[in-house]
Structure 1
Amino acid sequence: MNRLDTPPAEAIAPAADYSSDFALWLTEQARTMRARRFDLLDIDNLCEEIEGMARKEHRELQSRLEVVLVHLLKCKFQPEQRSSNWVGTLEEQRGQIARILKDSPSLARRVMEYADAEYPRAAVVAARETGLAIATLPGSNPFSQAELLDRDFIP
């Protein structure tokens, strides 16, 4: 049977409970949707999972921006220590951010909000990793969105 075929109702009636077998529950929910048996869907848990997927995308962008900020700070304030590892990390994180923004373009408008929010934590990490006093680093995010995302920008 292919995705367009509609199985009999008893073949799609969900048997797995959300809390007892998540993978089976997901498979059954997808099968139920494909069968257009919306009355059998576990709507509340489906909504929770969809919202959770959106939150995960936001968290991933925030996390990757924090790493970019740490490495930009390290490059800016300890240029003599710049390593291929730092530059490679910037390249990897910016590439992953580009992928996130390609898949979810609406997140582009959140880049600066998230970067500014992540900056204090990034500054602490950069100070710890470089041995610099935290007071040496700017009190707020000194990088523009273009600088954060530009794969060629290294201060």
Structure 2
Amino acid sequence: MRTKQDWEWLAAGSEYLAAVAVRELLQEGKSMEAYEGLAFLIESMGKSKKLALRSQLIRLMSHIIKWKCQPERRSSSWAITIDSARTEIEEIQEEVPILNRDYIESVWDKCFVRALREAQMEMGKKKCQIAALDWAEVFEEEYWFEED
């Protein structure tokens, strides 16, 4: 019989191996143990998707900040990164629908602070004139780069 710590460790270390362990328990008819393992697996998967979404949101915001603060350095690479981060977020939301706009708004300020810090470090600036980003700037505004 696995303990709570065993399931936490297994699910955090390998979601695949945790799923295999749950399947084995079900095959053995140990449904209560399998249910416990499944609960930890679901929790672990939710955490990893939340981390992935926050990471992509920070990446997205950071590039938009740089786009706005350094127009002379804009590139197609930045536009592609912005589009790619948006796509990654959409894919995470399709996979885990509870990570919707409400969830994003609940982590928005914290992600913005981190994105601003990362952008400033990359730009070598102590202060950027951007105090906030709104939803439209992050998810709706078009960012295209065309060389002269």
Which one of the candidate residues 103, 114, 119 is aligned to 2:112? Answer: 119
Measure the CA separation in 2 of the matches of 1:122 and 1:65: 8
Measure the CA separation in 2 of the matches of 1:27 and 1:100: 23
Identical aligned pairs, as a percentage? 25
Give the paired residue count: 135
Measure the CA separation in 2 of the matches of 1:36 and 1:151: 54
Q: Does the 8 A contact of 1:70 with 1:125 survive in 2?
A: yes
What is the aligned partner in structure 2 of residue 59 from structure 1? Answer: 51
Measure the CA separation in 1 of the matches of 2:67 and 2:61: 10
* Structure with greater Cα Rg: 1
* Residues 131, 28 of structure 1: alpha-carbon distance in 2 compared, 3 angstrom cutoff: closer
Q: TM-score, normalised by structure 1?
A: 0.71
Q: Which runs of 4+ in 1 moved over 4 A?
A: 17-25
Q: Which 5+ residue runs of structure 2 have no aligned equivalent?
A: 1-5
Say which structure is richer in helix: 2
Q: Which 5+ residue runs of structure 1 have no aligned equivalent?
A: 1-16
RMSD of aligned Cα (Å): 2.9
Q: Does the 8 A contact of 1:66 with 1:115 survive in 2?
A: no
Measure the CA separation in 2 of the matches of 1:57 and 1:150: 22
